[in-house]
Structure 1
Amino acid sequence: VVIVGRRKPMLVGVPLTSKHNDNEPQVPVGTGPWDREGRPSYAKIERILDVDPSQVRREGAILSRAHYDAVVAALRRGS
């Protein structure tokens, strides 16, 4: 999940997938430690999740600023 904001009391995020699908709005976010196999990942921007902060594991990875900005821009466009 890429956390993109907060809607109190919840965090707001979009799920990640390693399966690219041209029929779904997805934003490429590259590779990172969130995928043990090092596969390229995509943010699935058609699905916005409310995430309870108390349920978030305190481990994670940081997207590059460019990838994060691309996810946020796509959400703002609605595509």
Structure 2
Amino acid sequence: MSTMTDGHVPGRHGPTATTEADPRAVGRVRTEYSPARDGDPDPGEIVWTWVPYEENDGRGKDRPVLVVAREAAGTFLAVQLSSKAHDGDREWVAIGSGPWDRSGRDSWVAVDRVLRLHEQGMRREACALDQGRFNLVRHRLHERYGWT
């Protein structure tokens, strides 16, 4: 996994940049829960990467994302986290707090935007989300996109 040395921000530029994926055009997606504390991204883990703003104007920020699936090409599908409250919004799933947020704030996962990540584009592995909370997110993604 990359680090932010010499001004390089993993996932921001080049062939390993984090991009938005069309969740209905990614082909067959099998979400799985398979975290492994090995420094590599795995479905079920929260990792940090550069996430472009939805405007796709070159701006964005380093933020936590939940890896939800591994693609055959070696890339990963993920959804972004936010500490901004989204109670009652079906586009967001509440997952509570965890070690990914040093301030201990509650977090929400956006299910209306799917990101494609590359292992070299991830800055660090934060933690594994427990399977119960992962399943809440997985269920909402299945409802929305028909994934298995």
State how many pairs are aligned. 79
Q: Name 1:54's counterpart in structure 2.
A: 120
Relative to total residues, which structure has the larger helix share, 1 or 2? Answer: 1
Does the residue aligned with 1:35 lie in a helix, a strand or coil? Answer: coil
Where does the alignment leave 5 or more consecutive residues of structure 1 unmatched? Answer: none
Q: Name 2:80's counterpart in structure 1.
A: 15
Residue 9 of structure 1, CA deviation: 2.5
Where does the alignment leave 5 or more consecutive residues of structure 2 unmatched? Answer: 1-64
- Which range is displaced more, 28-37 or 53-62? 53-62
Instruction: Determine the C-alpha separation between the residues in 1 that align with 2:90 and 2:131.
Output: 23
1:3 aligns with 2:67: yes
- Aligned alpha-carbon RMSD (Å): 1.6
- TM-score, normalized by length of structure 1? 0.89
The structure having more radius of gyration, on CA atoms, is 2
Q: Name 2:106's counterpart in structure 1.
A: 40
Give per-residue Cα distances to partners, 1:47-74, cap 9 Å, x unaligned. 1000011112343111111100110110
- TM-score, normalized by length of structure 2? 0.50
Moved over 4 A (4+): none
